[in-house]
Amino acid sequence: VDNHIENSDSELENQNHQQYSCLQCEKSFTTLSGLKQHMHIHSSIKPYQCEVCLKSYTQFSNLCRHKRMHVNCRTKVKCKFCGQIFSNSTTLNKHQ
């Protein structure tokens, strides 16, 4: 009897939590904001852009993971002709 009561309580608890489901892939979320963020995956909207290389992402967490790649690229490069300093070799090459 105790086991039945525990199961009934947990079933009621789950029913009280509203779920927001994606209509395209049926993934569900506990918050509407979570669903809205997820919906970027199904569209061409990529609102999160890396300021170093300008690559764009659908989710902020993916941008954060990508930005860790640039940690080793933070060494500044100097133009041997004029001495101007650049954040990376790509911008230096464009300058020259």
DSSP three-state, residue 87:
coil
Whether 43 and 29 have beta carbons less than 8 Å apart is answered as: no
pLDDT digits (tens, 9 = 90+) for 4-59: 444 444 444 445 578 999 999 989 999 999 998 888 889 888 999 998 889 999 98
pLDDT digits (tens, 9 = 90+) for 80-94: 999 888 877 778 888
Give the pair of three-digit tokens for residue 36: 């809205």
- Smallest CA-to-CA distance from 55 within 68, 65, 46 is with 46
Whether 73 and 88 have beta carbons less than 8 Å apart is answered as: yes
Q: For residue 12, what pLDDT is reported?
A: 42
Q: Given a cut of 70, is residue 63 above it in pLDDT?
A: yes
User: Is this prediction's pTM over 0.75?
Assistant: no
